[in-house]
Amino acid sequence: MAAGRGDNHSYRGGSGSAGRTTQRQGQHTGTGRGTSGSRSSGSYRPSGNGYARTGSGAGGSGRQSSSGSRRAAQARKKRKLVVFGIEIAIIAVMLVALVFVLRLTDSDSAPLRATVDDITPEKIGVSEEIQQKLEDKDDPMNKYLNIALFGVDATSTSQKALIKGFRSDSTIIASINLETYDVKLLSVYRDTYLNLGNDSYNKCNGAYSAGGATQALTMLNSNLDLYITNFVTVSYKGLSGAIDALGGITIDVQPEEIQYINGYQASVAEVMKCEYTPVQSSGPQTLNGIQAAAYCRIRATAGDDFKRTQRQRDVLKQMLIKAKSADASSLTRAFNALSSDVYTSLDNDTVIDILKNINRYNIVSDTGFPNEEMRKTGTLGSKGSCVVPNNLEMGVKWIHGYLFDDMEYVPSTTVIEYSNRIRDDASKYISDLN
């Protein structure tokens, strides 16, 4: 079906009011083009759950192993990471841009990349307990790769807007089983009351605004007992362009969502200085890039932000469906659409045939944290309306069971400390934290 169904009018966003439009008869538009320890002289590169060291020098911080087999295992994980990165970049509009787009575009439009010094374990909140735990090759977490996907609600199309200064409107952990290629998605609700990675407590989406991806990773790792060293950040402009390159995605639009899709389209189009096509009716239909990006932002209907994160994950799943059937030219266009709208920690050391593996991955489950049984909502004074994990310790046990099938997981002392602090803070405003 055509985007918007009966879309005989297109509208332009501009520097004026988002509501000001110009009508063009018969035109179909709307594309969004648009701990501690001495450090050696070597550098570190993310490799699975750990780090591979390059350069010279002895000692150093970060997880290292003198065992050749350990390094070989890390190298195999790295290769699998890049393969998955290629597919999840289409799914999440993020990862493949780094490996493939760098080979298609000049340096002026290449994705921004984080330096290895920004993502050493100590700088991203990985506790000693977790580092030591993962030295055991049989630990359940070692069978998975975890990648943080951030979508920033930037009001600028500049690449620098991806680095810091804007809140993460979407935070999704993609957990990949390295043996089965099954993928699980876990959204962390943006208003969840957590330690922001700097010993202050507030809505977790503020971590990215305050300290960029490094602090956002610290927030995830320290609160949830994770070891995430890799991230990809994308703007709504990048999301829109990649979806258009794939030919749009199929979404079952509900009647109450139409006004919000069109309202958010106007604001996104104003930032991107592009035209948009209003959605005219409900039901299953093909949404173009800017329509789908606007759909991801809806939280005013029943379900609030909990429903919005489901919409975001639905968009990722629909992108996977389109990516699996896309030809090479469509994938290339999607990659190029991302070239200036991605900020990532991944490098392009390994060149992979991106089309051979796209059908090997399947999203088998997706949900959000804290889940309904483990959260309360309420206004915590000046910090506003928050989603409160009523018992972070139990929530982390649940996360490790969900992501890694580790039903016997015992949370770290750091998590227990954070859990107690969250309960103390929230109990001043919410009486039934049970």
Question: pLDDT for 16-28, tens place per residue?
Answer: 333 333 333 233 3
Structure-token match 């107690």, residue found: 420
Domain boundary among 325, 350, 375: 325
pLDDT of residue 352 exceeding 70? no
The pLDDT of residue 358: 59
Nearest to 240 by CA among 194, 192, 196, 295: 295
The fraction of the chain above a pLDDT of 90, given in percent, is 40
Nearest to 168 by CA among 194, 138, 205: 205
Q: Are 231 and 252 in a shared domain?
A: no
Average pLDDT over residues 345-363: 56
- Tens digits of per-residue pLDDT, 115-125? 555 678 888 99
Tally of structural domains, the chain: 2
Q: pLDDT tier at 270 (50, 70, 90 boundaries)?
A: confident
Q: Are 87 and 126 in a shared domain?
A: yes
Assigned domain for 384 exists: yes
Global confidence as pTM: 0.71
Q: Are 281 and 213 in a shared domain?
A: no
- Domain span at residue 288 reads 11-30+247-325
Task: Indicate which CATH number applies to the domain containing 115.
Answer: 3.30.420.590
Average pLDDT over residues 35-47: 33
Q: How many Cβ atoms sit within 10 Å of the Cβ of residue 73?
A: 17
For residue 145, give the H/E element and its range. Answer: strand 144-152
Q: Are 231 and 253 in a shared domain?
A: no
The pLDDT of residue 357: 55
Nearest to 252 by CA among 287, 276, 290: 287
The pLDDT of residue 269: 84
Assigned domain for 185 exists: yes
pLDDT of residue 392 exceeding 90? yes
pLDDT of residue 383 exceeding 90? yes
Assigned domain for 283 exists: yes
Q: pLDDT tier at 408 (50, 70, 90 boundaries)?
A: very high
pLDDT of residue 45 exceeding 50? no
CA distances from 136 to 45, 128, 401 (A): 21, 14, 18
- Tens digits of per-residue pLDDT, 329-349? 776 677 666 666 778 776 554
What is the DSSP pairing of strand 362-369 with strand 283-287? Answer: unpaired
Q: Are 24 and 171 in a shared domain?
A: no
Assigned domain for 36 exists: no
Task: Indicate which CATH number applies to the domain containing 275.
Answer: 3.40.630.190
Q: Measure the CA dihedral 399/405/411/412, to 10°.
A: -110
The pLDDT of residue 120: 83
Q: Are 166 and 219 in a shared domain?
A: yes
**Please, how many CA atoms are within 13 Å of residue 173, restricted to the half-sphere of its CB?**
27
Whether the CB-CB separation of 341 and 70 falls below 8 Å is answered with no
The pLDDT of residue 246: 87
The pLDDT of residue 340: 66
Assigned domain for 242 exists: no
Nearest to 298 by CA among 338, 253, 232: 253
C-alpha span between 267 and 240 (Å, rounded): 13
CA distances from 358 to 100, 150, 204 (A): 14, 22, 32
pLDDT of residue 307 exceeding 80? yes
Q: pLDDT tier at 156 (50, 70, 90 boundaries)?
A: low
pLDDT of residue 385 exceeding 90? yes
- Tens digits of per-residue pLDDT, 95-137? 343 333 333 333 344 446 565 556 788 889 999 999 999 999 9
pLDDT of residue 54 exceeding 50? no
Q: Are 146 and 273 in a shared domain?
A: no
Average pLDDT over residues 249-267: 94
